[in-house]
Amino acid sequence: MIYAVILAGGKGTRMNSNNINKVALKIDGKPLIVYAVEKVTEFADKVIVVIGAYADSVKQCLTNFQVEYAYQDQQLGTADAVARALSLIKNSSDNLVLIGYGDHMMHYKNSTIKQLIDYHKTRDADLTLVSVFFDDPNLLAWGRVVKNKQGKIIAIVEQKDATEEELKIKELNAGFYVVRASFLKKFLPQITPSPATGEYYLTDLVKLAVENGYKVENYTVDFAEVGYGVNTPQQLKLAEQMLIKSKQDSN
């Protein structure tokens, strides 16, 4: 069984979107959250949307979709958000969980998501994440993919926690994952708050996996497959431009 957990509980403070969750904002005529749910519905047996801030605005966008909701009362980070959905996921090593952001899935092709799931299964991984290369990593401010000399992932370090050397890494975490349900259930409660922000980072699962002998893989895609996440009005415009151009190029 495949579950999908879409994170849509944040306040989106930088969007200044006035009593509406940013995932309810539209690009090319469709709310961001609808793109996310549409993408995963093809692959998931159950779709769980984690809501919190301005929850009603998210629900209003999804009245035509069969989803379940988990509630994040306080915005304590991505790991805390996923933890809200754990009770809706059956604990089995055969079950998989797709995890993505409600404001950052509109660019993915369905074929890419299928390839990601197949890659995870073929590699018999416990956690597989999507990574991209970007020449100006500080511009995106995404987590850095830290690897050892053998080219294996050993950690994801968020920009706010990164050293000067880690900030130079150009391979970035795109924020889309496939995780074995049993692994998620075991290690998500072990995540501790970031010393820098006090938030619980989902990306800390990578380090926990490596330290405990579990298998982590990364599936690298072109930046065009991921695009800009939407945190500011400018990024909303950039994301829309990318999406429209992608549609035109594919016609």
213: in domain: yes
SS3 of 138, please?
helix
Domain range for residue 112? 2-129+174-220
> What pLDDT band is residue 16 in, cutting at 50, 70 and 90?
low
Domain count, the chain: 1
236: in domain: no
pLDDT digits over 146-167, tens only?
999 999 999 999 998 899 999 9
Most confident by average pLDDT, 211-215, 229-233, 242-246: 211-215
SS3 of 51, please?
strand
Segment 30-43 mean pLDDT: 96
56: in domain: yes
82: in domain: yes
> What pLDDT band is residue 89 in, cutting at 50, 70 and 90?
very high
Kindly give, in sequence order, each residue whose CB lies less than 8 Å from that of residue 30, ignoring residues fewer than 6 positions away: none
| Average pLDDT of the chain to the nearest whole number | 93
Candidate from 6-15, 117-126, 208-217 with smallest mean pLDDT? 6-15
167: in domain: no
Kindly give, in sequence order, each residue whose CB lies less than 8 Å from that of residue 52, ignoring residues fewer than 6 positions away: 9, 10, 11, 71, 72, 73, 74, 75, 81
86: in domain: yes
> What pLDDT band is residue 205 in, cutting at 50, 70 and 90?
very high
164: in domain: no
**CATH code at 210?**
3.90.550.10
Kindly give, in sequence order, each residue whose CB lies less than 8 Å from that of residue 91, ignoring residues fewer than 6 positions away: 181, 182, 185
